[in-house]
Amino acid sequence: MVVVIEENHGYKQIIGNPDAAFINELAADGALLTNSHGLLHPSQPNYLALFSGSTQGVTDDKPVPGTPLTAPNLGAALTVKGYTFAGYSESLPAIGSLSLSAGNGYARKHNPWSNWQSDSPGPNQLPESVNRRFADFPSDFGILPTVAFVVPNLMNDEHGNGQSADADLIRASDQWLRRYMSAYASWAVGHDSLLIVTWDEDGYTTANRIPTILVGAAVKPGKYDQPTTHYNVLRMIERFYDLPLAGASTNAALIGDAVP
């Protein structure tokens, strides 16, 4: 399973937009969750929620206090059950780096697993080896971890640096996804695998409505209007691997129609 996280755009900005041609191809081929929502603003709490079922008390994009955290999280739960996890961040300077920013748009605020990284064993903590560069993403999809998160850098995830036009940001992210994820999307359909493309938040509207797209072997193509947040997506992943439910995913409904 591969989860790709995009940035700061709402459903109506992406779905039906010709600047997001590949994303709309994925939506047409797979399951489009039309009532999907980020939890709050700004970005970082949403990443933490998707990875751990909790915002961990974080309400901003500043460095997370109290790291390494010890709360339950998806990576640790997979490891305990004998599965594997890795997060692939574009422009991360080195495997295991805890830099706050680097290169052409790496931002640690978009790297939730790094907040559990520790050199010493501890409750729910993760080794530096799971905190990988996108350059380490394998071309042989058969050797991917059980669950992989992929985070493009700020110039490729629709966030930008404050200087690019919005249409350019959307086109750049769409081209990036086509270049790096189209082969996996096709492979997933024939290999009992799943691609999830979602957004952290919609860019500061009250509704916070975002696209969430599922493409893979067990997906029933179509549009689904079940109310969905990052907690529901986490619950779906936990269900696939019979993992303990973390945080608010415990009370989140299953996404059962699109992926029975």
Q: What tokens appear for 189 in the block?
A: 């359909």
pLDDT tens, per residue, the chain with 260 residues: 999 999 999 999 999 999 999 999 999 999 999 999 999 999 999 999 999 999 999 999 999 999 999 999 999 999 999 999 999 999 999 999 999 999 889 999 999 999 999 999 899 999 999 999 999 999 999 999 999 999 999 999 999 988 889 999 999 999 999 999 999 999 999 999 999 999 999 989 999 999 999 999 999 999 999 999 999 999 999 999 999 999 999 999 999 899 98
Domain boundaries, the chain: 2-251
- Facing residues of 216 across strands? 194
What is the rounded distance in angstroms from the CA atom of residue 93 to the CA atom of residue 99? 8
Q: Decide: residue 39, CB within 10 A, 0-12 exposed, 13-18 middle, 19+ buried.
A: middle
Find out if CATH 3.40.50.150 is the number for domain 2-251.
no
- What's the pTM? 0.98
